[in-house]
Structure 1
Amino acid sequence: MHTSQDLRGAEAVRLEAVSKSYGRGSGRVAALRGLGMSFGHGTFTAVMGPSGSGKSTFLHCAAGLVRPSSGRVTVGGIDLSGLDDAELTRLRRDRIGFVFQSFNLLPALTVSQNIALPLRLAGQRPDEGLVRAVVRRVGLSERIGHLPAQLSGGQQQRVAIARALVTRPTVVFADEPTGALDTRAAASVLTLLRESVDTAGRTLVMVTHDPVAASYADRVVFLADGAFAGELHRPTADAVAARMTRLGAWEDEPRHRSMPQAHGRRS
């Protein structure tokens, strides 16, 4: 069996010439244009770009929530295009975790019940020891019996992260996970996400608009007009903000189609 150390640098997710269009004829809109990139095991990548750059479409294609119009997506070496809907659902359930900005917790379920929900939906009896360990890891042991309405926004997001991690997925996708949080809660959530990579070897791909959030990642990938627009390794908030400022002029420059390689975690 491979450990996370063995897999460092190997590909957890790969996109090859992925395009996605919506509509037909004169109303056809290209959301992604031949996008190629890879994400290594045990790495944390932030994905950024201006509004309409294709960030959400990228995330949904990479997570198997939306099928691309052309190109190929592989997760853990499995080609998603070769799976039917039932197989794709099982793969997302077993190998992919997803963290939403809006938390998506069920209001009638407690913290522990919300976290264990993916296991129950998979027909598995939750291991109470595992659930408690995950709850402890996200710092909510004293809230394990609370309902979502009894939690702060930051605590609810930590429950959502724990729910994404409890199935021990190959990769976790996070869609603006700190967008609805204040600065202090956002820092707590980002630290938790960073620790899930450093201590558990998870692969994390996070879409964000916040340069500070992006600075927690090993690498930042930039999109513009549905295509790769560059990347930064070992990013700082200032460097990310400066690159985002320049992206407005990127559409007038030659398109770059090179494939950025997966970057190892920080030393």
Structure 2
Amino acid sequence: MKNPDRTPVNGTQDPQAEPVVRLGCVSRVYGGAKNRVTALDDVSIGLERGTFTAVMGPSGSGKSTFLHCAAGLDRPTSGAVHLDGVDLASLREKALTTFRRERIGFVFQAFNLMPALNVVDNITLPLRLAGTRPEKGVVDEVLEQVGLSGKRRSRPGELSGGQQQRVALARALVTRPAVIFGDEPTGALDTRTAAEVLTLLRQSVDVAGQTIVMVTHDPVAAAYADRVVFLADGRLIGALDRPSVEQVTEQMQQLGTWSESFALRQSGDGVRR
């Protein structure tokens, strides 16, 4: 019988029960005294395993900085980031690079594929550069998962935009990462193709238990997520669970008004947030 609270009998907490991504009082400040910009302002949040989280906010709200700090691409000015139980601040640059390669997947708006390499070689390139190989059968598994089993030897120029983004997703999945971070992964796709890619992301959570954190400006894309969190002026100011497109759109419209009002209130101190 499974332990319902996932706490082992020896009293130690099961690490699988902890948030896979946890930000504690994270701030990120750029510039000096005269041109200080606070991109993140005391952000605290935990993101659960096996969930799909969308991050939204007006332009300049700190979405990309949130993703970069959470994924270990940038170091916070203050606060702590834990990913898969590891305090990222404890890792030096080389160890952090290895950790990102092994435990984190990335999917960007640009597909970032090598045009001279076929699908399989593009998927496995990061592993080969690191001197490792995927586990036996994993490449076939992820190709099946993203619907590209028949395109193994095709090069990117022979694929549609949606198929190229599927290759990028397979590349992110092949290491079985703790988290996949997406930065506007459907921003370069047409509506129908974007829906296909978003459905694949949704299925990777529902079927494979993957954790996904996606920055997006699109309410339709956000509605595929389990939860949408909203940033404005570097602060977390709200969230919606299992939202509709209409709910997300309404919240973003309200955020635009709030952000303009906040900027006016802050204009006297010379700090742009």
Could you state the TM-score of these two structures normalised by the residue count of structure 2? Answer: 0.88
Alignment of 1:57-96 (within 5 A): 57-96=65-104
Give, as a single letter, the amino acid of the residue that structure 2 aligns with 1:110: N
- For 1:126 and 1:33, locate their aligned partners in 2 and report how far apart those are by CA, in whole Å: 39
On the 8 A contact 2:146/2:170 being kept in 1, the answer is yes
Which residue among 141, 150, 156 is the counterpart of 2:158? 150
Alignment partner, residue 61 of structure 2: 53
CA contact (8 A) 1:8 1:40 kept: no
Tell me which residue corresponds to 2:254: 246
1:155-210: CA deviation from partner (whole Å, max 9, x where unpaired): 00000000000000001100000000001110110000001111111110000000
Superposed, 1:14-29 pairs within 5 Å as 14-29=22-37
| 2:178 aligned residue | 170
Q: Which has the larger radius of gyration?
A: 2
Summarize deviations over 1:44-78 as a string: whole Å, max 9, x none. Answer: 00000000000001101100001111110000110
Q: Which amino acid aligns with 1:201?
A: G
- Structure 2 counterpart of 1:32: 40
Q: Say which is worse superposed, 8-17 or 36-45, in terms of deviation.
A: 8-17
Number of the residue aligned with 2:192: 184
Under a length normalisation based on structure 1, what TM-score does the superposition of the two structures give? 0.90
Cα pair 1:8 1:42 within 8 Å, conserved: no
**Residue identity opposite 1:28 in structure 2:** R
Give secondary structure in 2 for the equivalent of 1:65. Answer: coil
Pick which of 49-58 and 24-33 moved more. 24-33
Q: Given that residues 230 and 239 in structure 2 are in contact (C-alpha distance below 8 angstroms), is that contact kept between their aligned partners in structure 1?
A: yes
Counterpart amino acid of residue 193 in structure 1 = L
For 2:215 and 2:27, the matched residues in 1 are separated by 18
Match of 2:123 in 1: 115
Q: Hey, what does 1:259 align to over in structure 2?
A: none
Unaligned runs of 5+ in 2: 1-5, 7-14, 263-273
Unaligned runs of 5+ in 1: 1-5, 254-267
Preserved CA contact (<8 Å) 1:109 1:147: yes
Give the 3-state SS of the residue equivalent to 1:94 in structure 2.
helix
User: Which position in structure 2 is the counterpart of 1:264?
Assistant: none
CA shift for structure 1 position 134: 0.9
* Percent identity over paired residues: 62
Shift of 1:119: 1.9
1:18 and 1:93 map into 2 onto residues whose CA distance is 23
How many angstroms apart in 2 are the aligned matches of 1:192 and 1:161? 9
User: Any conservation in 1 of the 2:182–2:213 contact (CA below 8 Å)?
Assistant: yes
Cα offset, 1:136, TM superposition: 1.4
